[in-house]
Chain A
Amino acid sequence: MLSKIVRTIANQLIVFILVFGLYIVMHGHVTPGGGFQGGAVIASGAVMMIVAFGSREIKKSLRERHLSLVESGGALIFIGMAFAGMGTIFFYNFLVGTPVFGGIPPTGPNPGNIWTGGVIPLMNLGVGLKVTAGLSAVVLAMALFISGEEMEE
């Protein structure tokens, strides 16, 4: 556990890191970014909390079992979206033209609309959950291992 100054600053910064990571994940189809990048940003926030507070404190609120659940859930969202387009072909973008994320932007430069992209925003969300939980779980496991702490089942 680091000093009180570091802990206070980390407590304030984690909010902005989480918001920025979620923004990158959910705007992956409009602006540069996506599930992998946003998930890495959020996982880096988790790493900052582990460094500032120590793995012993983080272990109480960030359960490794729950992280595994979230990671598997993200993978299931991703593969489920891929299978949902099976009526035409694997990975078919079946939501284009429907009211849910189905708006088609004009070709060429345009201001951008969040309700576009078809299945891609949902896939971004799934991959973002998966990368967030996966990287956080790996870092937490390594930190617990180094500190000699028992990993909870």
Chain B
Amino acid sequence: MRRIIAWFVLIILVAFLASGALLMHPFGYPPSDMDDYMIANSQAETANNNVVAAVLFDYRGLDTLGEATVLFTAVTGALLLFRAVRRKEDKG
């Protein structure tokens, strides 16, 4: 029974991924004006030579804020975890 379910899930997964790979848009389609706009205007608008930094901290600043929050949460969690385990071992 488990083998049948496993094959079933496998076939569905393969069909899903293959359809995703086959139905993908061709490269550069649909065409977007966003990248051309950023390359043309980032130096004048954000005073940055590095367009990647301009996108990261200015145009898409909220994304970077989320990224920083993820790192902060990960560090906090790791420190909490290692401290808690340490104390429990000491008691027991």
Binding site for B on A (CB under 8 A): 28-32, 34, 64, 68, 71, 75, 78-79, 82, 90-91, 93, 96-97, 101-108, 110, 112, 116-120, 123-124, 127, 130-131, 134-135, 137-138, 141-142, 144-145, 150-151
Contacts of A90 in B (CB 8 A): 61-62
Min distance, Cβ B45 to any Cβ of chain A, angstroms: 8
Would you give 7 A-B contacts (Cβ < 8 Å), ordered by A?
A: A107-B43, A123-B64, A131-B71, A134-B72, A138-B75, A142-B78, A151-B83
> CB-CB < 8 A to B83: which residues of A?
141, 151
| Contact pick for A118, options B46, B56, B78, B82, CB 8 Å | B46
Tell which of A71, A131, A145 touches B86, judged by Cβ atoms closer than 8 Å: A145
When A and B form their complex, what is the total count of cross-chain residue pairs whose Cβ atoms lie within 8 Å?
A: 112
